[in-house]
Structure formats: structure tokens, C-alpha cells
Amino acid sequence: MTTLADQFVPKPHFAERHHIEIPAARVVVWDAWQQLDLSDPPLVARFLFGARDVIARLRHGHAHLDLPDTFIPLAEERPVEQVKGVVGTWWTFGADSNRVDVSGRQEFLDFAEPGYGKAIVGMRFEDIGGERTRVTTETRVVCTDEASRRGMARYWPLIRPFSGLIRIMMLRALRSRALR
């Protein structure tokens, strides 16, 4: 099955996927996703973001500037899938901020400047019958050159478990919201 995420990062260098089944119709779960407040992350996520900020401040004199609200909308098919993306150098722990000049679909697709990673976060809502929905969140990263790929390869094992934990917590919050 081809997804919207495949249009942006069809062959990721790094990827993770998590899913949850929710006993509610897809449109109900989609609506709950639209209403979910991600601006106030759980304590664990705030701690992890804070730890990265401390590392960035020690290494570079400023905070790590790549929080989830910097992701830009890339594609959406209601109530099936939503994809957001960001271009950055996360493995540098804040040496540079995300590329804010990459502000839309075409800029994201066209971006190829060496030294960067292109990341997408996708949310897919699949009707699995019986008023049940499988929600899958997927993170995919592709690097623009070998040096950035090596940097991301060092960073990925450090961040992946925590990123996964945050995604699992987000899916559980979505389930709670959808079942209200």
C-alpha cells in the first residue's frame, strides 16, 4: 500500500513505526487527533527536550531548536493520513536550527543541500472494521549526504528509544481522547 509518507521519504535511512487499535470509527479518531493538544507534552517528553537543551547550551550556547511545533504540514488526506516534515541537523545537538526556509511541500521535496536530514512524521488512520481504527505513527529520516548520514547514525540510537516512548504516549493520549 502506497502512503502519503512514501511521496516524501520513500527509502528512509532511519525509521520507526508505532501503532494502536482504538475501538472507535475512523472519523471519530481523526477528529480526536485534530483536537489533541501536543503543545503541552507529558513530563517525560519535557524532561527529554530539556536534556537536549542542556547539551545544546553546553556545546553551543543556545537551546536545541527543533521541537515538534517546527514541523510543517506536507500532505493530508482526511480522515486517512497526515504528514508533516522538517529539515535539520539534529545530531549536532543544536549547532544549527531547523531550516525554516523549507516551508512547504515542494521546498521539502526539492531540498538537497549537503549536511542535512529530512524527517517526516506521518499519522495514518486505517478502518479495520467493526468500528475499530488502527492508528500508525511513523517517523522517517533521509540524509542528504554521507556525512549527515554518519552523524544521524550516531544520534539515532540515542534518540530512538525516547522518540518511541513519546510516540507511544501520544497514541495512548489519542485513544483516551477518542473514547471520551
The residues, any chain, with a CB within 8 Å of residue 146's CB and separated by 6 or more, are none
Residue keyed to cell 500508525: 136
Cα-trace Rg, the chain: 17
Other beta carbons less than 10 A from residue 36's beta carbon:
14
Question: For residues 134 and 20, is the Cβ–Cβ distance under 8 A?
Answer: yes
Element (H, E) at 120: strand 117-127
Q: Which CATH fold would you assign to the domain 4-178?
A: Alpha-D-Glucose-1,6-Bisphosphate; Chain A, domain 4 (3.30.530)
| Domain layout of the chain by residue ranges | 4-178
How far separated are the first and last CA of the chain, in Å rounded?
31
Total-model pTM? 0.86
- Residue indicated by cell numbers 483516551: 176
Q: What would the pLDDT profile of 49-59 be if each residue is shown by its tens digit?
A: 666 666 566 66
Residue type, 57: R
In terms of average pLDDT, the best of 43-47, 142-146, 170-174 is 142-146
Instruction: Return the pLDDT at 15.
Output: 97
Element (H, E) at 59: helix 43-60
Asked whether the beta carbons of 108 and 85 are under 8 A apart, the reply is: yes
Confidence grade of residue 107 (pLDDT, cut at 50, 70, 90): very high
